[in-house]
Amino acid sequence: MSSAEKLGGLGIIPKRKRQKVTEVSSSHSKHEVRFQNLIIFIVERKMGSSRRMFLMDLARKKGFRVDDVLSDSVTHVVAENNSWNEIWDWIQNQKLSNADKLKVLDISWFTDSMAAGKPVDIEEQHRLQERKILQSNLPLASPVVTISQYACQRRSTVNNRNKIFTDALDMLAENFEFNENDGAFVAFSRATSLLKSLPYTISRMANLEGLPCFGEQTKAIIEEILEDGVCSKVESLLCDEKYKARKLFTSVFGVGLKTADKWYGQGFRTLEEVKAAKDLKFTKMQKAGFLYYEDINSAVTRPEADAVGQIIENIVQECTPDASVTLTGGFKRGKVKGHDVDFLISCLKEGKHEDLLHKTVRKLDIQGLLLHSDFMEATLEKRKLPSKQYDAMDHFQKCFLILKLNKALVNNRVLSVPSVSAVRPTNKEAEPEVNTKIKDWKAIRVDLVVVPAQQFAYALLGWTGSRQFERDLRRYTHHEKNMMLDNHGLYDKKKKVFLEAKTEEEIFAHLDLDYIEPWERNA
């Protein structure tokens, strides 16, 4: 999905600047209907006719059928700023024969579907009855709660009630990071993180009063979106040639910002142009990135992650029976989709993890499942103080892989291991058999990290994320507790000792923090 598609939801709440769009005809004849079994009705109440007309036209352009009038043929009713009781009472008055079958949804389902270009699965946050705090009933000032500046003292689930703002701020933060403007990147990232933790939707600027992490720039962005439904800086960025090229080039596995800028400076604007250039030399990782680009850039689902995890666990325990394989990253935080799958491998007995990663990767290769591997050996020979850099890479042995996942395993989860005689000869960079009529496998990005048992709790905390949660946890540790924390351990600078921990709960206890569950760390 392109940046424009992914952030398409940023422009779907027009109030002033976008009113001209409503002049476009709402006729279905101009647009092909791609989703025949779904008919949407958008409630005008508390929305206004101009905004409703714009949303209807937007949906039709994306292939959705939207009816002007509520009738028995409607399947999905979408409302904004209305309670379940308000909409349900209104529907009952319409005397529909299919009222009990209607899916009555919050506007968030509509915006997510527009961004995806297809109807997304209905989740709990999309159901109108789950919207317990109405924007219209919010106090003029922010609710009487104390909200910490640190993400590690806030609970952030996947239910983001302020996506219209966080999408904009995330994109601007990313561009600041591209431009190596660390100050602005951190400021926008902190503001985004706090918005994701709020149990209510920002509906007026007064809701920001008393909240930390908001500076003049971030407030200006939020105010513009509240007034106009769009952020002019975001819209300009979506049209910016350099930003689009950086975003595109860095989407290739193995391509960093320096390489992306180099290609941009050489005049390249598309991946096709880069691949066709005869004078460019690609690394082993970049070659794999281009070869499996389509698969790698399609989201990994939770069932796919579980299937990969079962394969890895079977092989690891075949090598070392008492070894454990633990899923981390976004999937551990409750996300249903991700870009890759991360696993920690650990052994109860010291020393038994040595060479385990190499053995595991060799078996993956023998079984015909290895498409690419890139090892990074452990670099920490003796115990050192935790790094002062919030985003510093840890020193564990790790391997970045691309694995070949049989699609049949995702559905039936019968994970039989192929015999050696049944697989192709081992060749680490041999191209897959892509000439078959039906491709029955998918390339999946996988990171394997081997962790000594005594450091497992710290590694699990660090690799679970989110990135901003971990940054703030380390910042809190340094500024509030006079300690140092990284993926290897926690050091008390006053007592001059490392604090041992067998679980994440013990680490939080060392820091005098309430324990935050993994699914509440989506900061």
Domain range annotation of the chain:
3-132, 151-237, 240-281, 300-453, 462-520
Secondary structure (H, E, C), 59-100? HHHCCCEECCCCCCCCCEEEECCCCHHHHHHHHHHCCCCCHH
What are 116-149's pLDDT values in tens digits? 889 999 887 888 753 333 344 444 444 445 799 9
Nearest alpha-carbon partner for 375 in 391, 348, 405, 355: 355
For the beta carbon of residue 100, count every other beta carbon within 10 angstroms: 7
Distance CA 32, CA 18 (A): 24
Please give the Cα distance from 216 to 234 (Å, whole number).
Answer: 17
- The top-level CATH class assigned to 3-132 is alpha beta
Give the highest mean pLDDT range of 35-39, 70-74, 190-194, 383-387. Answer: 190-194
Do the domains 240-281 and 151-237 match in fold?
yes
Looking at the predicted structure, is the pLDDT value of residue 38 above 50?
yes
Residue 416's pLDDT is 43
pLDDT tens for 447-467 read 999 999 999 999 999 999 999
Long-range contacts of 258-263 (CB under 8 A, 24+ apart): 259/286
Distance CA 81, CA 15 (A): 15
Among 62-71, 244-253, 472-481, 512-521, the least confident range: 62-71
Catalytic residue, chosen from 342, 394, 472, 486, is 342
Residue 21: pLDDT band (50, 70, 90) is: very low
Report whether pLDDT(468) > 60.
yes
Q: What is each CA distance from 24 to 7, 21, 121, 369, in whole angstroms? A: 22, 6, 29, 52
The better pLDDT of the pair 238, 146 is held by 238
Distance separating alpha carbons of residues 307 and 392, to the nearest angstrom: 30
| Catalytic residue flag (residue 106) | no
Nearest to 443 by CA among 299, 319, 346, 269: 299
**Cβ–Cβ under 8 Å, residues 340 and 328:** no
What's the burial of 213, exposed, middle or buried (CB within 10 Å: 0-12/13-18/19+)? buried
Percentage of residues of the chain with pLDDT beyond 90: 63
Closest CA to 343 of 363, 358, 354, 357: 357
**Residue 57 annotated to the active site:** no
* Residue-level pLDDT at 439: 87
Distance CA 482, CA 491 (A): 9
Band (pLDDT 50/70/90 cuts) for residue 412 is low
**Average pLDDT value for residue range 415-434:** 41
Was domain 300-453 assigned CATH 3.30.460.10?
yes
**462-520 — its CATH code?**
3.30.210.10
> Of the residues 67, 306, 447, 492, which is catalytic?
447
Say which residues have a Cβ less than 8 Å from residue 5's Cβ, sequence separation at least 6. 115, 116, 117
C-alpha dist (Å) from residue 178 to 182, 244, 250, 462: 9, 11, 10, 24
- At which residue do the structure tokens 């694995």 appear? 403
Give the model's pLDDT for residue 129: 54
Output the CA torsion sign for 9, 11, 16, 21: negative
- DSSP code, position 40: E
Q: Higher model confidence: residue 108 or residue 255?
A: 255
**151-237 fold:** DNA polymerase; domain 1 (1.10.150)
Phi, psi of 371 (to 5 degrees): -100, -30
C-alpha dihedral sign at 517, 520, 521, 522: positive
Please state, for a pLDDT cut of 70, what percent of the chain lies above it: 84
Is the model's pLDDT at 485 over the cut of 80? Answer: yes
The pLDDT of residue 420 is above 90? no
CATH fold for domain 240-281: DNA polymerase; domain 1 (1.10.150)
Amino acid 25: pLDDT: 38
Helix (H) or strand (E) holding 120: none
User: What's the mean per-residue pLDDT of the chain?
Assistant: 85
If you ran DSSP here, which 8-state letter would residue 408 be given? H
pLDDT digits (tens, 9 = 90+) for 261-309: 999 999 999 999 999 999 999 999 999 999 999 999 999 999 999 999 9
Across residues 496-518, what is the average pLDDT? 96
Which listed residue (112, 295, 340, 394) is catalytic? Answer: 340
> What is the reported pTM?
0.70
What pLDDT sits at residue 52?
85
